[in-house]
Chains A and B, each alone.
Chain A
Amino acid sequence: MKLFRPSLYFGLLSVLGLLFSCVSPDSSKEILPEYALYLLNEDGSNTFFLKESLQDTGKSLEIDVPSKEFTREYIQKKGIFYHFKERNDYFIRYQLDANNQMVATDSILFKDGYLENYLWKNDTDTLLLFTVEKKTTAHARMYVVDTKNFTLLREEPLPFPSSIVDFNLLSIGVVDFVDDKLWIAYCYSKFLTADDYTTSDTMYYATLDFSSLEVLNLQKDTRSSYPGGINTVQSYSARNEQGDFYFMSCPGVALGNNLTKPTAIFRKKKGMHEVDTSYMLDISSIIHNHAYGFWYIGDQKAIIRSEQRNLYTDFSNHHLTFQFEYYLVDLSTKKLEKINIPLDKGTRKENVLVQGNDVYFAIDSEGNKHEIWRYAIDNGQVERISSVSNSASYILRLGFLK
């Protein structure tokens, strides 16, 4: 009889185990995530890390990306994710289902292109998307999508030249929409050899009538090169409380590769369709490095993310090197202040989030640490508040889910 007891016990255990294993998938329903982090993991996979809180308290859930071609280049608003699938030119809408799994719920077929920039028109449900043709990387196109009904409202080529002299690769770096007019900052690059390229010395700012797409004004600016960048990857512009619009140029090695030009912040004042030529915040002259990434945090303050040229050698280690620093930039006084958090890795990331009086940073620091750091805007205090995932290599994005 004694012999049977252990087996009975183990039998009970396994029944209990079965019960729990049946229950556990449902635990994903119990979490009400507020934040979504997009990870690149050590095994090469991408996952979303959904969190109720950025603190260590609260539940978290790691979910798969909806398809193996889903990349970090997504647009997220009110819990809905939009992604342009480059391979077959479908613009796809994804949503979280009741089990917090991401599923595709609709799609629109675009023409061939690389997605360069997006803009929510006047903060409505209308999404403006800007692409360049794949084959030439020279012809730009605008798509207007009603995201409420998920229908394509318009689709038109933009009247920009396909090249300027022999610079034949077009980049649409910054877009803005004011008074029914579209404002677009763009530039041209070219290959010097099979593998080396540079960007021309001129930034172009075009104001277009939104209905006709007629160019109403064209401004040329040679103070820097490569305005902005692909804003599904990283932020490069913002509007302040007074309605003034700020954007950063990125001529550094990771974007424009015109190293004679400085990384700088420029301004387009409220109601103006031209960039204010009297204003330039020359980042490079202050920190002697280039920067990529600009996040406005309120009250004329912004965060920028800068590289350290003495720490990396080339593209073999630009992303691997713990070199990225964060600076608090005062747009009025043009003063920079380094934020005292560990050096970060990863070329271009959307990992700065402003919530109330706090700025959160998702930092991948030395010793395989992947942590959330908090900067208090009021008193400048910095604190490590949680650790994210041990299987991550990079936290590529940190954002709200709602």
Chain B
Amino acid sequence: MDINKALLEKYELGQCNDEELAAVHAWLDAEDWGDLDMEKDVNEAIKDGMWADISSSVGTAPIAQTVLSTPRISTIKKYWLTVAAACIVAIIGGYYYSPEEDLAVFQATNVEPDVISFSKDHFDVVLSPNSEANIDFESGNISLTGNIILRPKRDFVLQDGRSNESFNFKQGEVYFVSEREEQKKLIILSKREMIFLPPVMQRRIKQQFHIS
């Protein structure tokens, strides 16, 4: 159903029938406001889904797209993309996988020109180009180069290896974690706190992670 001025006025006046009401509510709550073409490629999809659900963006790497001939959003394909992403990481070689280590250590490098996403037991993570992340639950340390976006699936505490400062990561929150050479510690901001970054930086991050 098209959302137009007449319909919104009806809505305002409380004259909508159930179907119209549902359409307006859907429009108001929509992530995509009806103008998103779900048949677009995965990059489009991650762009719109990033904040809402990082896990749905798994497999956004350009390599992953070449693995799949028609990358589209569907549960089955998402699963394949995950496998593809894992393979890519294995190829890159920075990442090692075994059932026990999966819980304890995460290590990945993104040498690609686009972001790469991973969905793990305890978190989802997206690495920006030229980034490297090392999350070690055994030692409780996090270290990285570049920028990552991290979405914990449970609460955990990690320590910034360089500054020795601990940080509480909360389940369901989305974090931007950045390392800069000139600074002696990680910059860890929740999604909401990113409004405090300079606009030039905010836009760079949005572009990097295809957020808007």
A348 with B189, Cβ < 8 A, contacts A87-B48, A97-B12 known:
no
In Å, the complex CA distance between A191 and B198 comes to 13
User: Is B199's CB under 8 angstroms from A319's CB?
Assistant: no
Known pairs A253-B198, A315-B187, A316-B185; list 18 more (Cβ under 8 Å): A88-B32, A107-B3, A150-B5, A169-B203, A194-B130, A195-B178, A195-B180, A195-B201, A196-B180, A196-B182, A197-B201, A257-B198, A314-B180, A314-B185, A315-B197, A346-B196, A347-B196, A348-B196
User: Is A195's CB under 8 angstroms from B35's CB?
Assistant: no
CB of B183 within 8 Å of the partner chain: yes
Q: Given the complex, which residues of B lie within 8 Å of A254, measured CB to CB?
A: 196, 198
Give per-residue flags for B179-212: 1 if the beta carbon is below 8 A from chain A beta carbons, else 0.
Answer: 0101101111111110111111101101100001
User: Is A197's CB under 8 angstroms from B190's CB?
Assistant: no
Partner of B147, one of A134, A191, A195, A230: A195
A171 with B199, Cβ < 8 A, contacts A88-B33, A195-B147, A196-B180 known:
yes
Binds B, one of A66-74, A140-148, A176-184: A66-74
In Å, the complex CA distance between A194 and B205 comes to 10
User: Is A90's CB under 8 angstroms from B33's CB?
Assistant: yes
Give per-residue flags for A220-253: 1 if the beta carbon is below 8 A from chain B beta carbons, else 0.
Answer: 0000000001100000000000000000000001
In Å, the complex CA distance between A76 and B201 comes to 26
Give per-residue flags for B134-147: 1 if the beta carbon is below 8 A from chain A beta carbons, else 0.
Answer: 00000000000011
Minimum CB–CB distance from A321 to chain B (whole Å) comes to 11
Q: Given the complex, which residues of B lie within 8 Å of A308, measured CB to CB?
A: none
CB of A60 within 8 Å of the partner chain: no
A134 with B196, Cβ < 8 A, contacts A67-B28, A315-B187 known:
no
- Size category of the binding interface on chain B: 35 or more
In Å, the complex CA distance between A150 and B200 comes to 30
Interface residues of A (CB under 8 A from B): 40, 44, 46, 66-67, 71-72, 85-88, 90, 97, 103-107, 109, 114, 134-135, 137, 150, 169, 171, 189, 191, 194-197, 229-230, 253-255, 257, 313-316, 318-319, 346-348
In Å, the complex CA distance between A319 and B204 comes to 19
Minimum CB–CB distance from B113 to chain A (whole Å) comes to 13
In Å, the complex CA distance between A229 and B198 comes to 10
Closest B-chain residue to A90, C-beta based?
A: B33
Q: Given the complex, which residues of B lie within 8 Å of A197, measured CB to CB?
A: 198, 200-201, 204
CB of B20 within 8 Å of the partner chain: no
Minimum CB–CB distance from B184 to chain A (whole Å) comes to 8
Interface of A, helix, strand, loop or mixed by DSSP: loop
User: Is B36's CB under 8 angstroms from A88's CB?
Assistant: yes
A315 with B28, Cβ < 8 A, contacts A86-B212, A106-B8, A137-B203 known:
no
CB of B102 within 8 Å of the partner chain: no
User: Is B12's CB under 8 angstroms from A44's CB?
Assistant: no
Can you name 12 A-B pairs with beta carbons within 8 Å?
A72-B195, A85-B33, A86-B212, A88-B33, A107-B3, A134-B206, A195-B204, A254-B196, A313-B183, A316-B186, A319-B196, A347-B197
Q: Given the complex, which residues of A lie within 8 Å of B12, measured CB to CB?
A: 97, 103, 105
Q: Given the complex, which residues of B lie within 8 Å of A103, measured CB to CB?
A: 11-12, 28
CB of B29 within 8 Å of the partner chain: yes
B28, B130, B147, B198 interface centre (most CB from chain A within 10 Å) = B198
User: Is B8's CB under 8 angstroms from A104's CB?
Assistant: yes
In Å, the complex CA distance between A104 and B3 comes to 12
A114 with B201, Cβ < 8 A, contacts A67-B28, A195-B180 known:
no
Closest A-chain residue to B174, C-beta based?
A: A44
B9, B36, B197 interface centre (most CB from chain A within 10 Å) = B197
Q: Given the complex, which residues of B lie within 8 Å of A85, measured CB to CB?
A: 33
User: Is B146's CB under 8 angstroms from A194's CB?
Assistant: yes
A105 with B130, Cβ < 8 A, contacts A87-B48, A134-B212, A319-B193 known:
no
Closest A-chain residue to B180, C-beta based?
A: A195
CB of B132 within 8 Å of the partner chain: no
Minimum CB–CB distance from A134 to chain B (whole Å) comes to 6
User: Is B198's CB under 8 angstroms from A255's CB?
Assistant: yes
Contact residues, B87-118 vs A (CB, 8 A): none
Minimum CB–CB distance from A195 to chain B (whole Å) comes to 5
Q: Given the complex, which residues of B lie within 8 Å of A46, measured CB to CB?
A: 192
Q: Given the complex, which residues of A lie within 8 Å of B173, measured CB to CB?
A: 44
